[in-house]
Structure 1
């Protein structure tokens, strides 16, 4: 790997690269503050396709913004998800929302959670929005990927192209989502690299600090964030391609048989991870096509070879196979959508002459991109009683912070208690200074904004998704005029189901869900807040001795999990017990 760069400041590098996209494609504009590339206004209304992720994968995602492809792309720092606030502003102010929004992300936790917040906030504001998570990488396999599922890699660009082309025809959000999901379900990809990459701005690598591959050694299953792959081999190109195609197409390999190729039409994508010369990529493409025909009797109907999704200057490539199937919408086929004209600098097609000559200077500016006003619902709560109960729950959680922190120091990184306390203190301060309106939806919306502004990290994202969904769920309880325990129970259950779209956590995984799920279930069954709070504490205590399936505890060794409950679950149960007005127990 090389640690030499022309621009060593990573922030400056990302900002320069985004600005450059507006120079090479006059049809797009840049919201520099929020690192968002978006189509300039003036085109016909259509379903908006929004994507994004960490920088370092160029031309994905910003260079795919343009007619017939993406409507906007939000960039994070190098290899890091953009923030939920960047994404929210892009959805609410930089794309056309009239016909709905499809948010398409690759399957990485930060992207799924942060883009998920944006989707839930859009729904809470009354917009039509769907989220599609693409996981096409077979390199890791089922056994290792577990509940998290396959990573998203270069095959994602085929989903972008097909959904973008379909949206440009005026198709509905439902059809665009369904065709996108069908496309994603029929793509498999795998990568390989001769070395890891160096991120600009980081210290120069040393033999001790960096993992190098030996001469002639190749890593199969290399991820696009510099992650190690599924294994290393010493293999020349023909043997390497043979192993990669076997991972993609061997239906007898139950660990990786994600796709059964039964179609007569196959699209092949050979993607440069950034550091392979055009000459060498041509040789790789020829070898892949040759082996597909000789070994699998596959002659792709379309072959795309080039730089679509990189890992900076990664010295490697990936192979993606799309199984072309019927879209079942009575419109253009996948191939027709793939062939449809587009105008994006990252897709291999020229910008139209008419666009250059138009010299558009239009931008999409919104003077205020704060939360869209939520209308009063008439779903009544008692402001005084609600404020008192909330204060009791929040204060109990704050007092429990030292104990939660001690638990997290045993099985995590020690910050769970501080994060919960920070959010609880912010909400407590808000409801102390501001009287609740008595409208359940308006009050939950206000509290949600406070939580979003005060809590960060994975826990903050989970709470934000859940609370944004709760706003939406409460609205659907109409025509109820009073927020009874039954109404709250139904809304909470719906919000829990929405949360499950963004995290695979289930009861028994040793997470906050072990306290949340029994609370919601008991409240729905009994309508009794005290019983629900007691069920939540029982669920939290039940995590003692439970091995973690998700979260940071997965990576912590030792027997600490036998001694303490999950810190997040315990902290949430403390809030519920205080909310219900139950007596404080002795600390264990």
Structure 2
């Protein structure tokens, strides 16, 4: 759990965040005292919503044309007061009526309810309705009791549809009816890697209820509330998590969670980032959800909205919302309302229909079709090499790299970007898999398979360097393929010398620069001078160890800026990982 913040005073934090909306969008108006953000006035139905702060862009990011007329902010994770809500109701244009939308939390429902009743008492002619949204299936009926489901990210879809209707000039009664229809045909569930720390609270509280290193909280609420259970191991991997989340939403036999009255063949999907999920990982979530909906449930996602819509501060998780595409009965379909234009900062997503793509990039599921793999030219190899022994030694080296991944990763998290260990492991696993599926008949075929596996699986600088190295090594062997010559340590030494010369054309890295060269060059030098692979592996190990006390000449460590914390302690992760490979090569 992240317990450090740039702003530790929650009152100042909320006030500053509210002001930012008027800075970036000058057409908005802020009532600083009551923490209310207003959109420019209109002659249509006004929509007021809000809740505790910490869920941005909900609700302040949805103030504007096509969404909300006003949002009311409480302190972090706490409902605004009835006085604040009443002020908002009485300051929006009520000539066509006011819809007050609130998520189903006791404090919010009570405070918004008090404000609504006071508004009616003060102005008997005011048309005003309240819509309570509860879409979370993470809490089963048996636990929710009379309180009902919590409101989470699905509320944004209610805002979108009702806001579009209001902007189109529909009457209050229709806006309310369709809003309720959406709420009744929608279900959501979230998951998070950890709880969050609220600015201003004691950091000691961060350990309370904390998750284990491999645990996730399934069904977690947006205020740090516990969910329906924790998962770990394989059950915490994305495919398993998504499968369980979709089951809880869609399983009609689960009477404790089957909140959808029906299930339409086409659905709108909202994938919401709880605050700290990387864009990369959110993309993987989107793909997994859509694949499972189509493959397991034969549901067609006709709209998929992915992004940050309702957060739990910097929560490292996501939620899934499914919405039936029901008939609205107002002359505009649900999809038309979802696609309607808006002018708010929190809804910056294009509406796209998933269908059969056309054009030169058409492929399965809209993906670009892969090109046919290019095959190496067949070449007779007369080199004398025990391919079984070579493959066995190679596999030992690869397994040593895989085993060393946690240690390599630990080092790279200190002096790099943390991906060196996983990159090496991914490459090693890809090579093992390729050799298993396509057993090589000779040493050239073996090297070709290794080079191809590395090209396909390893990215970044290290992936490129290894690909250059392996292709150059393969080229050297091909140049000598017609020779009836033993592939002994002398031959390997010559091959490595030639390969290192080729590698030098592409990188200035040399011994002393704190790179993988500090392990590779000593290995080649020692193999050439002694002809002993064990001594060469030992030299690579020593070379990698020395990098701990080297000032970086190349690589990401040059600009990390924390040299005092690792100098003399942490070796270069790439050199360390390569030395582990060489150690494995000489294992019997």
Under a length normalisation based on structure 1, what TM-score does the superposition of the two structures give?
0.58
Q: Secondary structure at the match of 1:103?
A: strand
Aligned to 1:67: 65
Tell me how far apart the structure 1 counterparts of residues 11 and 263 of structure 2 sit (CA, whole Å): 46
- The superposition leaves residues 484-522 of structure 1 with CA deviations (integer Å, 9 ceiling, x where unpaired) of xxxxxxxxxxxxxxxxxxxxxxxxxxxxxxxxxxxxxxx
Q: CA deviation at 1:215?
A: 1.4
Tell me how far apart the structure 2 counterparts of residues 193 and 349 of structure 1 sit (CA, whole Å): 23
- The superposition leaves residues 48-103 of structure 1 with CA deviations (integer Å, 9 ceiling, x where unpaired) of 0100000000000011000011000000000000000001111112x111000000
Q: Secondary structure at the match of 1:46?
A: coil
Alignment of 1:62-461 (within 5 A): 62-93=60-91, 95-124=92-121, 125-126=123-124, 127-205=126-204, 209-234=207-232, 235-329=236-330, 331-348=331-348
- The superposition leaves residues 218-241 of structure 1 with CA deviations (integer Å, 9 ceiling, x where unpaired) of 111100000011101112111111
Name whichever of 307-316 and 255-264 sits farther off.
255-264
Q: CA deviation at 1:333?
A: 1.2
Aligned to 2:415: none
Aligned to 2:582: none
Tell me how far apart the structure 1 counterparts of residues 349 and 192 of structure 2 sit (CA, whole Å): 27
Q: CA deviation at 1:264?
A: 3.0
Q: CA deviation at 1:275?
A: 1.0
Residue pair 2:305, 2:349 contacting (<8 A) in 1 also: no
Alignment of 1:455-534 (within 5 A): none
Residue pair 1:27, 1:66 contacting (<8 A) in 2 also: no
Under a length normalisation based on structure 2, what TM-score does the superposition of the two structures give?
0.58
Higher relative contact order (CA 8 A, sep 6+): 1
Tell me how far apart the structure 2 counterparts of residues 136 and 201 of structure 1 sit (CA, whole Å): 30
Aligned to 1:517: none
- The superposition leaves residues 408-455 of structure 1 with CA deviations (integer Å, 9 ceiling, x where unpaired) of xxxxxxxxxxxxxxxxxxxxxxxxxxxxxxxxxxxxxxxxxxxxxxxx
Higher Rg: 2
Tell me how far apart the structure 1 counterparts of residues 161 and 132 of structure 2 sit (CA, whole Å): 15
| Distance change >3 Å, CA 261–CA 216, structure 1 → 2 | farther
Q: Secondary structure at the match of 2:203?
A: coil
Residue pair 1:25, 1:344 contacting (<8 A) in 2 also: no
- The superposition leaves residues 339-358 of structure 1 with CA deviations (integer Å, 9 ceiling, x where unpaired) of 000000111159xxxxxxxx
Gaps of 5+ in 2: 351-588
Gaps of 5+ in 1: 351-588
Q: CA deviation at 1:121?
A: 1.5
| Distance change >3 Å, CA 32–CA 253, structure 1 → 2 | same
* Equivalent residues, number: 345
Residue pair 1:3, 1:205 contacting (<8 A) in 2 also: no
Aligned to 2:488: none
| Distance change >3 Å, CA 305–CA 228, structure 1 → 2 | same
Q: CA deviation at 1:25?
A: 2.1
Q: Secondary structure at the match of 2:139?
A: coil
Aligned to 1:38: 38
Aligned to 1:541: none
Residue pair 2:101, 2:133 contacting (<8 A) in 1 also: yes
